């Protein structure tokens, strides 16, 4: 079993490195939109007393997540990937990822919050994100800090915590152009 796991890792590692290199190349060019999943958190679900306005009632960044967010920001700088604007889910783990990584206050964007149970509302929420991506015309990059569920719904990609997916518009939706792992 260990050998099988090791073989899978060794086969996947070059692919991840290539995906990351290609992603950085896109980001150095500027003019792209990045869907960034928030950094590592403590726990797996928000508590029952969740309140969007109170961080102490939410699942938050772990110490490892705070370190990861600092690394994300440092790598954007070291790799000369210019950032024009940062939008974020209103959840504290996303806002904190953005603040720590990019040392700026992100613009809260409700559409980046996790989807709810109502399918019609979710479709409208995803359409708002696609519209924001479609309307972006800056020369630097737009970073949108969000959650796994949104990135997966929009691109089919399931990023790890702290992973970036560079996206472009395709038809009525988005497609992944590249990925960067941290």
What CATH number is attached to the domain comprising 55?
3.40.50.1240
Number of Cβ within a 10 Å radius of residue 143: 27
pLDDT of 64 strictly over 60: yes
Question: For the chain, how many structural domains are there in total?
Answer: 1
Could you tell me if 77 and 24 are in contact, meaning their C-beta atoms sit under 8 angstroms apart? Answer: no
Six-digit token string for 69: 């967010």
**Helix 119-135 to helix 148-155 angle, to the nearest 10 degrees?**
80
What is the sign of the dihedral through the CA atoms of 58, 59, 64 and 67? negative
pLDDT, position 182:
86
Rg over alpha carbons for the chain, rounded to the nearest Å, is 16
pTM: 0.89
Which residues span the domain enclosing 120?
A: 2-180
pLDDT, position 16:
43
Mean pLDDT of 12-21: 55
């Amino acid at each position: 079993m260990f050998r099988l796991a090791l073989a899978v890792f060794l086969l996947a590692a070059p692919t991840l490195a290539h995906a990351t290199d290609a992603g950085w190349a896109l980001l150095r060019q500027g003019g792209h939109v990045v869907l960034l999943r928030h950094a590592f958190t403590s726990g797996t679900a928000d508590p029952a007393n969740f309140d969007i306005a109170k961080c102490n009632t939410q699942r938050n960044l772990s110490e490892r997540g705070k370190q990861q967010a600092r690394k994300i920001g440092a790598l954007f700088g070291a790799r000369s990937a210019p950032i024009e604007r940062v939008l974020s889910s209103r959840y504290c783990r996303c806002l904190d990822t953005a603040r720590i990584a990019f040392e700026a206050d992100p613009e809260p964007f409700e559409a980046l919050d996790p989807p709810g149970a109502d399918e019609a509302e979710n479709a409208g929420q995803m359409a708002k994100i696609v519209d924001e991506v479609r309307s972006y015309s800056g020369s630097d990059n737009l970073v949108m800090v969000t959650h796994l569920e949104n990135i997966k719904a929009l691109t089919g990609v399931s990023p790890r915590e702290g992973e970036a997916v560079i996206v472009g518009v395709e038809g009525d939706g988005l497609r992944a152009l590249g990925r960067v792992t941290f």
